[in-house]
Amino acid sequence: MASFLRTPLFSVDLSISSRIDDSLRMSASSSLRVRRPGTADLKVSGSVKRNTCLIVQASKEPLELTRELREKQKTTFEEKNDELDPFEELKPRFLNFKKRVYLENLDHYQNLAEGQAPKFMVIACADSRVCPSNILGFQAGEAFTVRNVANLVPPFQHGASEVNAGLEFAVNSLQVANILVVGHSRCGGIRALMSMKRDDDTRSFIRDWVSIGKTARLSTEAAAGNLSFEKQCKHCEKESVNTSLLNLLTYPWIEERVNEGTLSLHGGYYDFTDCSFEKWTLVYRQCLEGGSKYSIKNRSFWS
């Protein structure tokens, strides 16, 4: 068999090269065998001129396409290199933290490296404006924190989620003494909950998640349905915290520890429009006066 002519896409068998020359002189048709490397032979029949064009086109177009793509990639990379890397802003912040916080409290951080024993578990919203460590000044090791859209706690029957996984670890393993659920002003998750149409069957991750707070929405509509939508949302932002506190009691190991007096449940509300904070504690007992199991105590307002 004669040598092979290779192109970017095909290898061509030239064993019939002498016959091609004769065919060109005689203007006769011939058979040209075109083969992909590593695959079965594919026969293409037709005039030699047509096959020659096929080979030239197959060899030229991929080269032009590759060159064009490389030029586009080069331009794209050059444009990206001109942009400011957002991590360049984080680097000096980290180095400042290391110098002014970590190294100045080295003993504390070395102790934390051996294990944590936080007094609080905090459930807060994922909203970038309401970081609980910034608002309440939690230091490293003081609060085991879970954040999600609208700071919701699903009931025990809801199934696995990052919230109940965090609850199980914080209560049963870390044995925190306090769980604090923090709501906040102008919460997008609560607004989505209050905006849902009753007859809308549209499914989405956000809709399915915020539906956990539908009890808070119903309570809000009953108590504040005559108010403006904005005021209803604010009412629901606080009411959803209470709904989450009650949902905490659907977890058997949380209810048990609350009854034992080794775990307390607290609600909080941060209003970033005027930088104020409201705090309260849920009281739960099997036999409270009047037959109710729930009441609120130690309500305070910080501004």
Binding residues for Zn(2+): 125, 127, 184, 187
Helix ranges, 14-47 (H): 17-26
**121 close to 146: Cβ distance less than 8 angstroms:** yes
Q: Which residues are annotated as a binding site?
A: 125, 127, 184, 187
Element (H, E) at 302: strand 294-302
Closest CA to 278 of 299, 295, 297, 298: 299
Helix (H, G, I), strand (E, B) or coil at 275: coil
Helix%, strand%, coil% for the chain, nearest 5: 50, 20, 30
Tokens of 154: 């699903």
Query: What is the per-residue burial (b if ≥16 Cβ within 10 Å, else e) of 20-41?
Result: eeebeeeeeebebebeeeeeee
Bridge partners (DSSP) of residue 120 are: 143, 178
